[in-house]
Amino acid sequence: MNDIDFAVFYDKQQDYVAFRNDREKQDEYKILVDWKVRKLGEIIPDNLKFNNILEVGCAFGVLLNSIADRLDAGIRTGIDISGENIKTAGKLYPGCEFFKGTLEDYVKEKSLIQKNKRHELIVLSDIIEHIPDDLEFLKLVRKVSEYVVVNLPLEKSFKNRNRNYGIEDPSGHLRCYNKKQAKKLFKDAGFLLVRDKTSIATSDPEFLKIYRKNRKIRITAKPLLLKIFWSGFYTIEDKFKLISKRISSAIYGTNYFVFLRSS
């Protein structure tokens, strides 16, 4: 993994490229972000106030600014390894500070540990699964913030049973987790779990519309027999999701939203 230039990888990653150049993809992305922000907001205790927020892996800054608006936070900082993402974020949100690099780069350049400076809240949404050394990363996070809010995809599921996680994964997911593994990771890094919940994006009506629209596009492009097969398959898929969240999670995976405090 040390031979991979992750900055170049995420500069060229197809979903990010599509967002930078496609207004429709931008709108779809923002709907997904709105769902994530609602779920993250639900697990942040109401009695805690945060004015200084840092997001690691901020991409275009959309989630950072959405959750900062929800929390009424004034100081907003985003870190991303992709220079192209940071350029886009700077154009979208010129009033925020954006930094190109890793968390380690940021901490070193700002001398946070030497100056004993800390952010009030760190946001980690869809980022831990991209980090080469997840445990050491979280230990560093703990040094620069007492509180952390996390969105982690739990992808140990039937659908992903043959997925080749690692440097060849097109989304850049280096590994997958289940809930038990995620909890152990947070504990080993020195965090206390304050609140948590699981949810799946297709439970959101607006995102479900997008999911079904893109699904229909995929079916339309297939030969007739495959159209019939996949139409039937997706009908069954929808019924599974309605019947049982547990069955749906076992088949498709889910998202794990966690609020952590440094122990």
pLDDT at 3: 67
Same domain as 121, residue 100: yes
pLDDT above 70 as % of the chain: 97
Same domain as 221, residue 105: no
Same domain as 62, residue 36: yes
Question: In the predicted model, is pLDDT for residue 1 greater than 60?
Answer: no
86 against 241, higher pLDDT: 86
pLDDT at 235: 85
Same domain as 209, residue 171: no
Residue 150's φ and ψ, nearest 5 degrees, are -125, 140
CATH number at 172 reads 3.40.50.150
How many separate domains does the chain show? 2
Same domain as 106, residue 71: yes
All residues at 6 or more sequence positions from 23 whose CB lies less than 8 Å from its CB, including other chains = none
Cα gap 208→36, rounded to integer Å: 14
- For 152, the domain range is 6-201+253-262
- pLDDT band at 45, cuts 50/70/90? very high
Provide the token pair at 223: 């030969």
Instruction: Evaluate whether residue 248 is within a structural domain.
Output: no
Instruction: Evaluate whether residue 1 is within a structural domain.
Output: no
Same domain as 229, residue 153: no
* Residues in a beta bridge with 150: 124, 258
Same domain as 193, residue 210: no
Same domain as 119, residue 68: yes
Strand segments, DSSP code E, in the chain are 52-56, 75-80, 97-100, 119-125, 145-154, 191-199, 254-262
C-alpha of 222 from chain center: 31
Nearest Cα neighbor of 258 from 144, 126, 132 is 126
pLDDT at 185: 99
Q: pLDDT for 109-160, tens place per residue?
A: 999 887 888 999 999 999 999 999 999 999 999 999 999 999 999 999 988 9
pTM for this one? Answer: 0.91
Same domain as 125, residue 15: yes
Same domain as 171, residue 218: no
252 against 64, higher pLDDT: 64
Task: Reduce the DSSP state of residue 189 to 3 states and report it.
Answer: coil
Same domain as 130, residue 63: yes
What is the crossing angle of helices 23-43 and 62-71, to 10°? 40
Q: pLDDT for 216-252, tens place per residue?
A: 888 888 999 998 998 888 888 777 766 667 777 888 8
182 against 217, higher pLDDT: 182
H helix runs in 44-178, sequence order: 62-71, 83-92, 103-110, 134-144
Greatest mean pLDDT among 49-53, 197-201, 218-222 lies in: 49-53
Same domain as 42, residue 84: yes
Cα gap 69→73, rounded to integer Å: 6
